[in-house]
Structure 1
Amino acid sequence: MRQTAKMHNMMHSDSCYPVINLTSRLYFGSFENKKETDKHLRIIYLFIEDFVNYAKFSHDFGPIDISATINYLRLVQTTLDKFNGSMVVIASCDSSEQRLNAAVIAGAYLILYERMPLDVVYRILTPIPVAYTTFIDASDDETAWRMDLKSALSGFAIGFQYQFFSMDTFDTFKHDSYGRVEYGDLNWIVPNKLMAFACPVTLPHVLGYAPNSTTKLAMLFVHLKVSCVVQTNEFGYNPSDFTKFDIEHHHLFFPDMTPPPDEIVLKFLKLCLSCDSIAVHCKSGLGRTGSLIACYMMWKWKLPAEACIAWLRLARPGSILTTQGHWLIHKCRSIQELTQSDIDNNNVDKLSGPIIIAASPLSARRVNSPIKSATITATLAAKDKKAKSKKKGLRKI
């Protein structure tokens, strides 16, 4: 008993906030200085900075994507199993951003391994009135919706509940590979139903990578059993590049960095009802693409918009930009209440009504101009070479 008390005192020393007990031997804490695991392995610190990283689009910093999170959580569980006499700490350094990322990972462990409900997990992670910061999106728009801890955790909750992934079978190598520019820049959001990908490239050479031509992607889609492509950006290739492979192509254009018009939402939902597997793209496969996919998730499973956005950002970091988050939240109930008849008959009136896009009162950062999709694609592709030398973490675009 005295030894246990001593270990707790060791763990709490140098901590920025009270260390939180997650399970009998698992803890979560943030520390002013990096703490080393003692030679007797009484307390094993697994600092997230040593194992995962987030490839920024702009000023965003997370959440850590599903693949890197699963790799880290598997490490945590293996450590607990192997060193059954040790305490294990999911740890971060003294940074509000890293503390939030670590809290999300800690909460994900409780949801995925301990099968705890979201509300219970949130109470465990917030035992004292010390506010966590919030996630910002991949634009520089200060009015964009900001995702808090509970919303981020809801992404894991719905992902697990609706079997968008499995801890036992999720292939992190395949997920990361397909997410790379040179291998498709694509991610399944709803497995075997809805895929997000970046616009095919017709240039002969893009920042050192072989381009994702329509032909290259079409052959990959045949392999992945994709039956339909939905394009939301301007025409930049011939749709026949897909249709000649017996893949349907539908053009549902709406402007970059904006939410979809009601007519587009209904057309997309109708396609989701008629097509087995759909690959959706805009310029970078983030904003417009994510917005439409979120609409289907809200309608199909009556899910909250916040949870859909969270899952999209876990499956494909950077998804949902600027006003799209607020729009999804305000439009959620209207979309959930659509009947199949409304969709079949293009009942736009069911979705009509004023949508108030509220400014986020939590943002205090300086505003530049919203980052454009083309900028996102080019910036991340340029950073990719540097990222290759780092430890494996997030999807490298």
Structure 2
Amino acid sequence: MADKCCLPPHEVFEPVYFHSTDDTSTLMPGVHYFSIEGVISYVGFADDFGPMNIGSIYQFCELMDKELERFSDEKLVLVTSLDCQAITNAVFLLGAYMIMKMNYDLPQTISCFQATLGLAVPYRDVSPGIQNFELFVQDCWGGLWKGKQLGWADFGPAGFDLEEYQHYDNALNADLHEIVPGKFVAMRGPRDLATDSPWEDVLDDEGHFSHRDFSVEHYAEILQQFDV
């Protein structure tokens, strides 16, 4: 059972507040509440629950910009359930917005979440079993901030193509990511397939879909588009 974390509303930056609750009767009138649950989510492989990828960060930034514009005269409250994993992901995305859109540095971002970071739980590896490391929200913010400084994470008008990112991120299309623009691409390795098809679906021992393998030719065509 997931841990439950109680957190009263508190201001992160004007006019945005953060609140975790399962009791809707505590919501105040005249305040605009919004949530990412069911809107932006992380698809885990095993016991992992995050962190959110750069596509989800971009989507959250777009959502925040729209909420701030639509409700410019109201206080905005990002509300989550009491689940500590949900709190962790919401806190990470809110801090990511501050870094990417408000130009906060890492110490400034951390200082705005003193009331919540104690409730955030560390991220874990996608592999099941005992973990030998812990990845904290602050670590993820630090990586994002560094990537922004180096120009690797850019949400400017010509800096990020969400549709392209989601297409290649999809494990049914490529499971491929451009880590350093123009320099470094990471992907799952190609396979020698029994047919001339560019891909082949692999089933588990019970006959259920497991994953999709791709041919060398399939990846070669994609890598040419990235000038590899």
TM-score tier, shorter chain, comes to: 0.7 to 0.9
* Alpha-carbon distance in 2 for matches of 1:69, 1:126: 21
Instruction: Name the SS for the 1:184 alignment partner.
Output: coil
* Alpha-carbon distance in 1 for matches of 2:50, 2:103: 23
One-letter amino acid matched to 1:87: K
Structure 1 residues 213 and 148: CA distance shift in structure 2, 3 A: same
- 1:373 counterpart residue number: none
One-letter amino acid matched to 1:122: I
CA drift of 1:129 comes to 8.1
- 1:28 counterpart residue number: 18
Instruction: Name the SS for the 2:13 alignment partner.
Output: coil
- 2:37 counterpart residue number: 49
Gaps of 5+ in 2: 203-208
Between the two structures, name the one with larger relative contact order (CA 8 Å, sep ≥ 6).
Answer: 1
Q: Which structure has the highest strand share of the two?
A: 2
TM alignment of 1:362-377, pairs within 5 A: none
**Deviation per CA, 1:321-342, whole angstroms, max 9, x where unpaired?**
xxxxxxxxxxxxxxxxxxxxxx
Instruction: Name the SS for the 2:19 alignment partner.
Output: strand
Instruction: Name the SS for the 1:18 alignment partner.
Output: strand
Instruction: Name the SS for the 1:140 alignment partner.
Output: coil
**Deviation per CA, 1:129-154, whole angstroms, max 9, x where unpaired?**
84421111111242421111211211
Percentage of matched positions with identical amino acids: 22
- 1:174 counterpart residue number: 164
1:117 has 2:112 as partner: no
- 2:215 counterpart residue number: 213
- 1:80 counterpart residue number: 68
Gaps of 5+ in 1: 1-14, 227-397
Higher deviation after alignment, 28-37 or 188-197:
28-37
Instruction: Name the SS for the 1:188 alignment partner.
Output: strand
* Alpha-carbon distance in 2 for matches of 1:20, 1:93: 15
Q: 1:189 aligns with which of 176, 179, 188?
A: 179
Contact 1:20/1:125 (8 A) holds in 2: no
- 1:162 counterpart residue number: 150
Structure 1 residues 215 and 90: CA distance shift in structure 2, 3 A: same
Structure 1 residues 113 and 55: CA distance shift in structure 2, 3 A: same
* Alpha-carbon distance in 2 for matches of 1:223, 1:155: 26
Structure 1 residues 188 and 24: CA distance shift in structure 2, 3 A: same
Contact 1:64/1:101 (8 A) holds in 2: yes
CA drift of 1:174 comes to 0.7
**Deviation per CA, 1:142-175, whole angstroms, max 9, x where unpaired?**
2421111211211221121111121223111110
- 2:206 counterpart residue number: none
* Alpha-carbon distance in 1 for matches of 2:201, 2:26: 43
Larger Cα Rg: Structure 1 or Structure 2? 1
One-letter amino acid matched to 2:179: I
CA drift of 1:49 comes to 0.9
CA drift of 1:18 comes to 2.9
One-letter amino acid matched to 1:175: Y
Contact 1:178/1:187 (8 A) holds in 2: yes
Instruction: Name the SS for the 2:91 alignment partner.
Output: helix
* Alpha-carbon distance in 2 for matches of 1:78, 1:216: 38
* Alpha-carbon distance in 2 for matches of 1:129, 1:112: 19
One-letter amino acid matched to 1:152: C
Instruction: Name the SS for the 1:225 alignment partner.
Output: coil
CA drift of 1:36 comes to 10
One-letter amino acid matched to 2:216: T
TM alignment of 1:290-305, pairs within 5 A: none
Contact 2:123/2:134 (8 A) holds in 1: yes
CA RMSD of aligned residues (A): 2.4
Contact 1:34/1:93 (8 A) holds in 2: no
Give the TM-score normalised by structure 1: 0.49
